[in-house]
Amino acid sequence: MKYRFIDDLTSDVMFEVYGKSLKEVFENAAEALFSVICQIKKVEPKVSREIEMEAESAGELMFDWLQELIARSDIEGMFFSKFEVLEVSETRLKARIWGEEASPEKGETVVKAVTYYGYSFARDGKGYRVRVSLDI
Amino acid sequence: MKEKLKRIGDFEWELDENSRERMKAKARIIANDAVMEAIEDDAVQQLTNVATLPGVVSPVVGLPDMHWGYGLPMGAVGAFDSEHGIISAGLCGFDINCGINLIKTDLTSDEVKPKLKELVAELFRNIPAGVGAKGKLKLSEDELKDVLVRGVDWAVEKDYATKEDKERTEEKGRMEGADPSKVSALAMKRGGPQLGTLGAGNHFLEIQEVSNIPDRETAKRWGINEEKQVMIMLHCGSRGLGHQVASDYLRIQEQAVKKYNIWLPDRQLACAPVNSPEGQDFFAAMKCAVNYAFANRAVMTKWVRESFENVFKREWEEMGMKTVYAIAHNIVKLEEHKVNGEKRMVYVHRKGATRSFPDTPVIIAGSMGTASYLLKGTETAMEKTFGSSAHGAGRVMSRHAAIKKFRGTEIASGLEKRGIVSKSTHPKVMAEEAPEAYKDVEAVVDSVHGAGVSLKVARMVPLGVMKG
């Protein structure tokens, strides 16, 4: 399972993302996010963008990654559906993302922000598990 | 925590300072029995968390639409001393100046109903709505900065709004002290293309008719004369610009908590001392988002007027389409209030709360398909709630749960059976806003009216609904 949604509170969306590696968990988290923003299966990977970022820890890096994706979607007026992490460490990420011009027909809802409510970034024997809640 | 609430009136409850450790202020909740039943314990707990913050001025207020929110419930008010208190991005909410414009017409529902489908379709054509909708305005960076500084003054200059619209907007559509240099480049980029867009989620545009008028004298002063009069309600906020300002300053204030060694019961209550750079920079940036949102709704008001003109082939002035009032319900303001008999300047954080100053309009939006209310503010609100009232019905079910439980198409056909025309970019948005996902707006309004923190003026019911 890449991710699952959790029914938790009265005004947010919460999901948990899994990945055997850092690469996987970052890619899966992006997919979970855009499955909230748009009808991701209908969004074609027509054009790509590159994202590079740094943070102080893997947890912060994940938070910033999702926040950056929300902002990029707004700024460029695009929906994204395919995510490939090219290089990743605990503090640095380089990724290529694909998508197409946004249109309300393929939209779902406006995600305002990632929040710290219930946010966690954990690693265990099986890999990574991240819990994210969104303000929508 | 709810078990500790003491009833102090039919519509009023309190938690004293001993309800938990470190509480420096009381918590007060305005609610009748039905509403109190629906309020979550976690949300009450959140009020007590806020009551521990530095410089908090008693009481922290929960309004009848309160429900769990980030740090502070939606439907709540926290006031802080203007010298020793804090200011907080989290206590303002992610959608800065989410608010409502109420526009009247002189048309009756008998005139509008036959053209309703056409009208809703025309509104949909003229007002970009839904996630991914492209804005129609192309603003240069300098022009966007002008919007952030001048709000509705910009809209008046560009002929989107009239001077009368401006006079009938909270803060006259422009908060002084807005400083675009405190707004990040990312926030500017997010907001640039979105001015004049409705957004999605709980944002909507509704065509309503007046169903009854409890206070005819006040209603008349505000342009509402009779039942069946058609009204327009526009609900939206500061779009990506405000969301980014909130996100940026939540992060900055997280650091400020460490820097100024502020004890917090909950990380979500990130804040900064009122007179620190982290506090005042947020205030200056928030004002930019506030002005942006006022301008955003003013621009869409023009397009609403044009849509009516196109459908009814009459000038909007001739149809009497004047702004009744435009209010904010996620905002921080520096206001003078009487505290223990003395006048004090306090930073009032209204999160999902409407200003309710004596004889000013208060607008409470119902959930989709249910009634909405125009009320008037009171002196009692100045004494009990820092001049605040409720803003809506308040959710009782998460959007996620509502989508699982309801089918959007069924919600739409349910509305249609009641003669309500609805249109959305896709059905899921109808499901997440299903009326059953909210408290009963009548109980919310009865609570604020009963407590005297705002009084009913007119009740409106929907005819047509447009959602993003």
> What's the whole-number mean pLDDT along residues B338-348?
95
Q: Which of B199, B396, B404 sits opposite A110 (nearest CB)?
A: B199
Q: Which of A26, A29, A27 is nearest to A16 (CA)?
A: A29
Model pTM above 0.80: yes
Determine if residue B399 is left, alpha or beta; phi over 0 gives left, psi from -120 to 50 gives alpha, anything else beta: alpha
The answer to whether the Cβ–Cβ distance between A115 and B268 falls below 8 Å is yes
In tens, the pLDDT along B438-451 reads 889 999 999 999 99
pLDDT score, position B434: 86
In tens, the pLDDT along B25-68 reads 999 999 999 999 999 999 999 999 999 999 999 999 999 999 98
Is pLDDT at B328 greater than 60 in this prediction? yes
Three-state SS for B124? helix
pLDDT score, position B280: 98
pLDDT score, position B364: 97
Q: What is the CATH code for B2-396+438-467? A: 3.90.1860.10
Q: How far apart are CA B119 and CA B304, in angstroms?
A: 10
Contact B211, B459 (CB under 8 A): yes
Query: pLDDT: is A124 or B305 the higher one?
Result: B305
Q: Which of B400, B428, B438 to mutate to test the interface with A (most CBs of A within 10 A)?
A: B400
The answer to whether the Cβ–Cβ distance between B200 and A114 falls below 8 Å is no
This complex has an ipTM of 0.88
- The Cα-based distances of B200 to B134, B376, B433 in angstroms read 13, 29, 11
Contact B43, B73 (CB under 8 A): yes
Average pLDDT, chain B: 95
A107 contact residues in B (CB cutoff 8 A): 130-133, 200, 425-426
Nearest CA-CA distance, residue A86 and chain B, Å? 24
Is pLDDT at B426 greater than 90 in this prediction? no
pLDDT score, position B412: 87
Residues of B with CB under 8 A from a CB of A: 40, 67-70, 74, 94-95, 129-134, 186, 189-190, 193-194, 199-201, 240, 243-244, 246-247, 250, 254, 267-268, 395-401, 404, 425-426, 428-429, 432, 468
Is pLDDT at B101 greater than 70 in this prediction? yes
> What's the whole-number mean pLDDT along residues B298-326?
98
Is pLDDT at B352 greater than 90 in this prediction? yes
A112 contact residues in B (CB cutoff 8 A): 94-95, 243, 246
Contact B319, B313 (CB under 8 A): no
Query: pLDDT: is B94 or B152 the higher one?
Result: B152
pLDDT score, position A10: 59
pLDDT score, position B408: 84
Q: How far apart are CA B61 and CA B79, in angstroms?
A: 9
- Among positive and negative, which fits the CA dihedral B325, B330, B334, B338? positive
Give the start-to-end residue ranges of the domains of chain B. Answer: 2-396+438-467
In tens, the pLDDT along B237-294 reads 999 999 999 999 999 999 999 999 999 999 889 999 999 999 999 999 999 999 999 9
> What's the whole-number mean pLDDT along residues B212-239?
97
Contact A136, A8 (CB under 8 A): no
> What's the whole-number mean pLDDT along residues B184-204?
92
Average pLDDT, chain A: 93
pLDDT score, position A11: 55
A103 contact residues in B (CB cutoff 8 A): 132-133
Three-class secondary structure assignment of chain A = CCEEEECCCCCEEEEEEEECCHHHHHHHHHHHHHHHHECHHHCCCCEEEEEEEECCCHHHHHHHHHHHHHHHHHHHCEEEEEEEEEEECCCEEEEEEEEEECCHHHECCCCCEEEEEEEEEEEECCEEEEEEEEEC
Is pLDDT at A12 greater than 80 in this prediction? no
> What's the whole-number mean pLDDT along residues B224-236?
97
B243 contact residues in A (CB cutoff 8 A): 70, 112-113, 135
In tens, the pLDDT along A55-78 reads 999 999 999 999 999 999 999 999
Tell me what percent of the residues of chain B surpass a pLDDT of 90: 85
Confidence tier at A9 by pLDDT (50, 70, 90): low
pLDDT score, position A16: 95
Distance of alpha carbon B303 from its chain centroid, rounded?
A: 21
Burial B390-406 (b: 16+ CB within 10 A, else e): bbbbbbbbbbbbbbeeb
pLDDT score, position B403: 82
